[in-house]
Structure 1
Amino acid sequence: MAGAAEDGARTGGAKPSGEAPGGPGDDAGFAPADKTGFGTSRTKESHVWFTLQGGRMSETYYPDLSTPASRQTQLVITDGKSFVERLSDAETRTELCGQSGAPAYRLTSRGTGWCAVTRYVTDPGRSAVLVDVEVRSETGAPLQVFVLHDPSLSGEGNDDSAFPRDGMLVAEDRHAASALAARDGFAESTVGYLGVNDGWSELSENNGKLKHHYATAGPGNVVQAGRLRMDGLTRTRQTVVLGFGEKPAEAVRNARRSLRKGFEAAASAYERGWCDYLAGLRETPGSLRAPGDRALYTASVVTLAASEDKLNPGAFIASPSMPWAFGTDRHIAPETGSYHLVWARDLYHIGTGLLAAGDHDAADRAMDHLLRSQMDDGHWSQNHKVDGTPFWTNIQLDETTAPMLLAWMLDRHDAKTLKHLRRGADFVLKFKSEEGYKAPFSPQERWEEQSGYSPSTIASAIAGLVCLADLMQRGGQAADAARYLEAADEWRESLDGWTVSTNGPHSSKPYYLRLTKDGKPDSGTEYELGNNNEGKADQRTVVDAGFLELVRLGIKPADDPVIRNSLTVVDRELAVDTPSGRHWHRYSGDGYGEQPDGQPWIVDRPEVKTTYGRVWPIFSGERGEYELLCGDRQSAAGRLRDIARTAGETLMLPEQVWDDRPPVPREKSGKGTRSATPLAWTHAQYIRLAWSVESGTPVEYPTVVAERYLHR
């Protein structure tokens, strides 16, 4: 590329030249999913998000939240002779350092005779991440500090090209570009291919020295490295910027302008934006008296708000992460996914969480996004990218009825909303599965792994139809509502016959099953659980707590004897007491989690025989909502504390926490696994339960359903 010689002369170091050999480089996965940081500005002008994990900046997302743009950006520190260490190899403490809850972070890392402090924000005025870098030698010996960047533009890191431009390290593919810059430029730099001649390979194999200084590489899995002009003694501070754009010129321009603005000015504007947003919401619930609980509540609101795409308002993703094989295995995930996508079910939880926090506009935007992303036949896709493009394409009936529940919470009975919701309801009423079963039989239930009659799916379907009928009456369409109510009533009368076993092995009394394959809960129908479970399970042996949705959604009373007996069964079969309180597995035999030795979940590998799904904090929230409906406010408040105890050092709430058998001593029972963290659903559940405890009843309780079935 033209400009290589010029850039080398400007930096004053070894002049990069020539093209790196050995492409396209090794295939690479993304960083683990247990994030310790997630941030973006509140502005629409800045289309970039960053994550932190393991002492480094892990994935950044640009130009939207369904598109990873890099795998990692981190420092390498060396004395040039005896040690070469990455921040991800060091002991690191991560702290929230934003005022009033803004998602700004400070990482303090210590290695062999050095200490590094890095701070991270995004520039509210443009698509750029700024990193304030401070490195100090603790021995008096000079240090060399490199920044290592692994681009993965457009979500695909194997087709990038890299070259220098205007003193920056630039990468591009057909759709996007990035520019890595330092305030004082790079003293030397190189580009190479991962696992062949990338910067880390060069430094680690040559005692902290770059043996080669290549100028260009690609297309392939390129990695960029540049030495900062700092020695840890007389020069200890530096600003690093990662700018993005559709083309290299835009990425370079954004990086340059952010450097000119400076870290402190960008950080001040970043914090003001978040403080202004939070000031417009409800005060923290009075029941959260401890400072740590109040901070977690604020962090939960911020996490949900940060999870909204800026190009596609109302598109809130499930998590800015790619857990386990979803981030590393091309067979399972040929395209990056599936958590940084929109799921109608998760969006319902996020929307009701933000509504409880006082952000009515965000919940309305979520509803508007659902209307825009509805499929032509009326159902909502299993999940979709933030622009509405379907990703996984199976059908889950509760994801088509969840929008009806959210619309009722928002009192959306305008003609446009009702038109969309009625299309969804008509799809459900006409649905017939490949096995020949009619709704509410669903091709997938809420855990997305099995077809059948599921209590949680049926609960959503019944409540959704009743809520829709109520909206229609308010919208002047009462004459057409009767058929939806008729179906809801019929399903309520039939649901126990489809899902309650009277002869199962867990109790001599009736109890709800996770699901039945055939609507015959007293038959010993067998099915494969999946997730590395060998053989088949009798459907009467598999339970979950999904039946609590029947109570939360006003279909069954809290003191229903089958509900109470089912709770006894679930507590015996699925509950685990941890130092973070009592939490529950998803269902009997769940294998969606790490291998016995803590290695990542993966399927379809002959050498992986067993994986263990751990326990989920969201179930503490669901139990707390049930206890409120039983009139037990004190126990519900205890569940809120249990969720809070699972938070990490920066108040991220995980998808799963270790149960009573963590694989190695460093893992702590009751703390987050390598599952998706932060999980928006968990944060939404925490917010909702906090307000529910405050009010004494679940804040998302559809009273119109309870009036129909419980209070006649």
Structure 2
Amino acid sequence: MSNIAPGKPGISPTWTSSAKDIIGTSLLKSRVWFTVGYGILNEVYWPSCSMPQIRDLGFIVVVNGEWFEVKRLHNYTVSTPSPELLLPKILHKHKLFTLELEIIVDPLRDVLLIHYELKGKGAKLYSILAPHLGGHGKDNIGFINSKGLIAQKKDVVVMLAADKGFSKTSVGYVGISDGWQDFNQNGQMTWEYSKAGPGNIAMMGELNENKGVISLSFANTIEGTQTLAYSSMATGYSSIRNQYITCWQEWFKYFTFSKNDTLPPAFSNAIKTSMAVIKSHAGGTFPGALVASLSIPWGYTRQDIGGYHLVWPRDLVEVGFSMLICGMLLEAQQILSYLISIQQPDGHWIQNNFADGRPYWQGLQLDEVAFPVLFAVKLQEQNLIHDMQDVVAQMIKKAITFIVQNGPISPQDRWEENSGISPFTLSLTISALVAGASSGFLDKKDAEYALKIADDWNNRLESWVYVQNTDLDKEYQISGHYIRINPSSSSPQEGYVELRNRNGKQIKTSDLLGLDYLYLTRLGLRKPTDPRIIETTKLIDKVLCVTLPNGPYYYRYNEDGYGEHEDGSAFDGNGIGRLWPFLSGERGHQAILCKENAEPYLKALLASASIGGMLPEQIWDQEDIPQYGLYKGRPSGSAMPLIWAHAELIKLIYTYTTKKTIEQLDCVVDRYLNTKRKINEIYWYDDIECSSVSSNYTLWIQANKPFTLHYGLNGWQQVQDQPSHLIGLGMYGVPLNLENLSGQTINFTRRFNQNDWENKNWDILVN
């Protein structure tokens, strides 16, 4: 046997495809999560669902001197014992052989087991493992001992073992001396290297028998992986399989939603699968942490340690609401506890983080500050916060304080691409202010101030994100529409938005459309039948909707650049946005609220799933491009599964059956739909253009620290100084009664300390 493999360090590493057939994990002590794509094991995560440790574990079959890599045959089925049990059985079919694989995770150990059976005269089976320890394909070391094939990087170790053993083994550098290259060059396994690394490595083993069990074990020591692997295999596959099933069955005893006998079986089964998918994205060591997706979009082209296996507070709360629907109350409480634990000292949540709380992208999105408040108040409504009341109160106050001090402009919208005022983010922040004020966790002064800010923003909402009589309105014969985002403080009728991922291309603010406005009705700020909502819906149905054989689907916005290129090649920082199935869910909610037929949207969302029931982020919208695995109406190369999409499906079926949305709070509906409220105060924000104000208002000049207002009229006449006072939630203000100032201009500036002038003069016309 040759000793050291040649070709160090191997080719540049990438991940595998994000198109997952199915995913899974156990529900006891194990800290292993698996994914399956193209009928083989893809990324396996350990010791948290944020850390992938292998790229894939595939198989080569040799028959009659020919060799076949099964993932490239594209002729396989995936089945599970029941919709809620993610225990995949994969059957690869070829005229010369069949290969059956079943994958489980040992509930008691950090071990994944694959039961395999190869049938075919003269057939021989080989396994090939590509470790990416520590979330990267670089600097892996591989070697072989009597127990199996071992890869190591620092204190992370993975071992591939087989209960019937290997007759041959080899480890080499990917693209140079790995087992696949051996077959490609020699048509059989001729290399038997015993060591490779550090570098991008792959390990191959020729299995002694065509039926048996393969184990993949994870630990911090070589001895640990060996102990785990062999104790698991000694226990017996059937016994561990039964434990795996029992754990899931016990968990689903708490599941309540789809026990409704009136639901069509397709809907009921989809809810169960979706809940299992969501639960399978939950952190074991860190309860309440659910990553957005156990996938890396277009992973076969990149090496990204982040991918989507990170926690987004927005996705987490979207999922939390679906947990409530399904009766998974403990999980909902765990999500709230986790959110409290990762809240930043100033009250906001960072864009996303690893399951253990370490930050990854650190952008700021105000909807991710508002969502946890709504979720906490929803749990309070259902009497689910119990002993958490003190910490929930602190969380809500910090979040509400952050919103009033930093809104209504958000540095990033929900698509993480633009700063500005979005109807989606605005809907959430206004609702959060009302919810926080109504929760009883704020003192009277802070609660009153929060409600006044909410009323002010709600009153001004259309002036920020609604346009009328534009060219688009005239083309589609409507009077006006809500826009996707207003990136500046100027009128939404003016200005341009930079389109991300489109090489700096811009579009008129008034021409940029999205479904973001639909949360205005979903949260109870506007009636579903509001003419502005109805007309905008007509517009997006014409501009953003594509009806495929399986139903209507929607783009995030016109001119989106987050998706494959025209030729089907992977998104690389630029591209063309494709259809997002969960947006069919958002549109379906609006249909239900308007007492229209929502089944086309429901069926479209369901039809986008993979063969294992996984819902994708995007589906392909053009003619088939087989070389990239792109087929019209089927998942594209973006994330799959996306737990946000699974949560949206559950929530849509809930709205379908109850005619109300789970996110809606009575306090918001009562304030803006059931009560006519006179708004007579308007609050100054430095970054919101406010060049003119009606004399019907009291204008509050405010800041987040004490100041002296230095102001006058009509070119600094009748100059006065007035000290500010605390008006609530850390904000200080001075009220100006405009009743008798119509036609006049107020000039003002502020002094924050004795000589600390803001060095800017402001002018406001009173009309």
- TM-score normalised by L of structure 2: 0.84
1:631-642 superposed matches below 5 A: 631-632=595-596, 635-642=597-604
Shift, 1:223, TM fit: 0.8
Which of residues 88, 97, 110 is equivalent to 1:114? 97
Structure 1 runs, 4 residues or longer, greater than 6 Å off: none
Task: After TM superposition, give the deviation of residue 646 of structure 1 in Å.
Answer: 1.6
Partner of 1:65: 49
Letter in 2 for 1:254: L
Contact 2:267 2:653 in 1 (8 A): no
5 Å-filtered alignment, 1:415-564, equals 415-431=390-406, 439-471=407-439, 473=440, 475=441, 477-508=443-474, 509-532=479-502, 535-564=505-534
Offset from partner CA, 1:636-679 (integer Å, 9 cap, x none) = 24422221122221111111122255545974433222221111
Cα RMSD, aligned residues only:
1.8
Contact map agreement 2:39 2:78 (CA 8 A) in 1: no
Q: Which residue of 2 aligns with 1:615?
A: 579
- What are the within-5 Å matches in structure 2 for residues 216-295 of structure 1? 216-230=195-209, 236-284=210-258, 286=260, 289-295=263-269
1:408 corresponds to: 377
1:624 corresponds to which residue?
Answer: 588
Q: Is the 8 A contact 1:313 1:369 kept in 2?
A: yes
**Residue 583, structure 1, aligned to residue 566, structure 2:** no
Partner of 2:744: none
Match of 2:176 in 1: 196
Deviates most, 263-272 or 298-307: 263-272
Residue number in structure 1 paired with 2:70: 87
User: CA deviation digits over 1:385-411, x for unaligned, max 9?
Assistant: 101111001111110111001111111
8 Å contact from structure 2 (residues 554, 579) kept in 1: yes
Tell me the TM-score normalised to structure 1 length.
0.90
Letter in 2 for 1:61: Y
Distance 2:262 2:249 in 1: 20
Residues 454, 499 of structure 1: 8 Å contact kept: yes
2:284 counterpart of 1:310: yes
- 1:296-332 deviation per Cα after TM superposition (whole angstroms, max 9, x unaligned): 21110100111101011100010000012x56335xx
- 8 Å contact 2:63–2:96 — kept in the other structure? no
Deviations 1:438-480 (A, max 9, x none): x211111011101111110111100111111111x2x474443
Is the 1:502–1:522 Cα contact (8 Å) retained in structure 2? no
For residue 444 of structure 1, what is the amino acid of its counterpart? Q
Provide the rounded CA distance (Å) in 2 between the counterparts of 1:370 and 1:312.
Answer: 11
1:14-413 correspondence runs (5 A): 16=1, 18-43=3-28, 45-79=29-63, 81=65, 83-99=66-82, 101-111=84-94, 113-137=96-120, 140=121, 142-210=122-190, 212-230=191-209, 236-284=210-258, 286=260, 289-324=263-298, 328-330=301-303, 333=304, 336-411=305-380, 412=385
Distance in 1 (alpha carbons) for counterparts of 2:105 and 2:268: 25
Q: 1:287 to 1:708 in 2, by over 3 A?
A: farther
Does structure 1 conserve the Cα–Cα contact (< 8 Å) formed by 2:84 and 2:275?
A: no
| CA deviation string 1:160-216 (max 9, x = no partner) | 111223421111111311110011111010101111101111122111122x21111
Confirm or deny: 8 A CA contact 1:285 1:690 kept in the other structure.
no
Conserved in 2, the CA contact under 8 Å of 1:286 and 1:694? no
Report the structure, 1 or 2, having the larger strand content: 2
SS in 2 for 1:381: coil
Tell me if structure 1 keeps the 8 A contact 2:623–2:631.
no
Give the 3-state SS of the residue equivalent to 2:472 in structure 1. coil
State the alpha-carbon separation in 2 of the partners of residues 602 and 165 from structure 1: 41
Partner SS for 1:497: helix
1:343 is displaced (CA, Å) by: 0.4
Q: Give me the whole-angstrom Cα distance separating, in 1, the residues matched to 2:145 and 2:236.
A: 20
Amino acid in structure 2 at the alignment position of 1:486: K
Name the aligned partner's letter for residue 664 of structure 2.
Y
Q: Displacement of 1:263 after TM fit?
A: 1.9
**1:59-117 Cα deviation digits (max 9, x unpaired):** 00001011001000011111373x22111111332323234621101111123611111
Q: Which amino acid aligns with 2:528?
A: A
| Secondary structure in 1 matching 2:553 | strand
Alpha carbons 1:98, 1:271 under 8 Å: kept: no
CA contact (8 A) 2:97 2:119 kept: yes
8 Å CA contact retained: 1:318, 1:680: yes
Distance in 2 between residues matched to 1:361 and 1:126, nearest whole Å: 24
Distance 2:142 2:622 in 1: 47
Higher RCO (CA 8 Å, separation ≥ 6 residues): 1
Match of 1:566 among 536, 549, 566: 536
- What secondary structure, in the 3-state scheme, does the structure 2 residue paired with 1:511 have? strand
Deviates more, 1:500-509 or 1:554-563: 500-509
Aligned to 2:720: none
Any conservation in 1 of the 2:422–2:485 contact (CA below 8 Å)? Answer: yes
What is the one-letter code of the residue matched to 2:426?
I
TM-fit CA distance, 1:699: 2.4
Query: What is the distance in 2 between the residues matched to 1:498 and 1:463?
Result: 17
Aligned to 1:9: none
Secondary structure at 2:657's aligned position in 1?
Answer: helix
Alignment of 1:596-611 (within 5 A): 596-603=566-573, 611=575
Distance 2:259 2:499 in 1: 41
Which amino acid in the other structure matches residue 221 of structure 1? Answer: N
Structure 1 residues 401, 483: closer, same or farther in 2, change over 3 A?
A: same
* Structure 2 unmatched runs, 5+: 676-767
What is the Cα deviation at residue 17 of structure 1? 5.2
CA distance in 2, matches of 1:369, 1:207: 52
Kept after mapping to 2: 8 A contact 1:521/1:539: no
The answer on whether the counterparts of 2:257 and 2:325 sit within 8 Å (CA) in structure 1 is no
1:669 alignment partner in structure 2:
632
Change (3 A) 1:259 1:92: farther
SS in 2 for 1:190: strand
- The answer to which of 21-30 and 578-587 deviates more is 21-30
1 CA distance for matches of 2:391 and 2:661?
A: 29
Contact 2:365 2:412 in 1 (8 A): yes
**Which ranges in structure 1 are unaligned for 5 or more consecutive residues?**
1-15, 231-235, 432-438, 605-610
Please give the secondary structure, in 2, of the residue aligned with 1:18: coil
Q: Distance in 2 between matches of 1:454 and 1:476?
A: 27
Moved more, 159-168 or 660-669: 660-669
The SS at the match of 1:481 is: helix
CA–CA separation in structure 1 for the residues paired with 2:569 and 2:633: 18
Q: Is the contact between residue 581 and residue 670 of structure 1 (CA under 8 Å) also seen in structure 2?
A: no
